[in-house]
Amino acid sequence: MTEHDSDAISSEQDAAPETAQWIIPDASRMEALAEFAAGAGHEINNPLATIIGRAQQLLKDEPNPQRRQMLLSIGAQAYRVRDMIGDTMLFGRPPAPELQRVSLAEVAAKVVSQFGEQLAQSNCKVVLTVPPTLVLNADPVQLAVALSELLRNSRHALQPSGGEIELTATETSDGFVQLEITDRGAGFSELERIHAFDPFFSGRQAGRGLGFGFSKCWQILRQHGGRIEIESATGGPTTVRSFWPISK
């Protein structure tokens, strides 16, 4: 082998795609974060309600336009914090699922339709491969929330150029439906792999909007007796697999 051949092989190896790595939530750590989120959310809500109420009271009797604008800004930001706390508390203490027979194909089609405008604006397309025979034992609202979060994450990952999101479902041999959502956008960095399921971590700098998305999905699936895992390499592709109990 010549030196030139050796350099060529080395160059090809350097250019080879990174092997995908699995990201699986640590249940004990997630439960601890959920407990913290619930407690912190409750404690913050009380003073926040006082701030909102006081700003509204002062606004009623304030004639000065500049001060009125300041009070409106205080109120708006306080409401924004309240919405964030709402997400925190929903992660910490979510409502119990109301289980029923649910057509996965119907819920998936409805969620994709609701995302239609956002997907079009982002130049993204969803390819659905979900057999109509797959019926889950699930809460339809919570199932839709989980699907929405996963689609939103894939759409963010495909920015700015857009691309295709594949949503497929198959029945497993152990009584679950394996739902896969795959995108070929930016994969997970090492830091994002570590914190992918953390409710207070955002990967928006790299285009993937983590935040509460995966933590919500983890809570929903945990309460359904299912599970979630991610397979991703830096540079993509990324596949999120969730396992939902099938209705017999």
Question: Tens digit of pLDDT for each residue in 139-182?
Answer: 999 999 999 999 998 998 898 899 999 999 999 999 999 999 99
Answer yes or no: are the C-beta atoms of 181 and 239 closer than 8 Å: yes
225: tokens are: 């007796």
122: tokens are: 């982002």
Other C-beta atoms closer than 10 Å to the C-beta of 56 total 14
Answer yes or no: are the C-beta atoms of 194 and 156 closer than 8 Å: no
Please state, in angstroms and rounded to a whole number, the distance separating the CA atoms of residues 174 and 170: 12
Q: Which fold has domain 97-245?
A: Heat Shock Protein 90 (3.30.565)
Give the mean pLDDT of 185-193: 84
Q: How confident is the model at residue 209 (pLDDT cuts 50, 70, 90)?
A: very low
**More confident site: 228 or 40:** 228
Q: In this structure, are strands 124-129 and 163-171 parallel, antiparallel, or unpaired?
A: parallel
**More confident site: 57 or 45:** 57
Output phi, psi for 158, to 5 deg.
Answer: -90, 0
Other C-beta atoms closer than 10 Å to the C-beta of 25 total 21
pTM exceeds 0.85: no
Closest CA to 41 of 30, 33, 52: 33
Task: Tokens 């150029």: give the residue.
Answer: 161
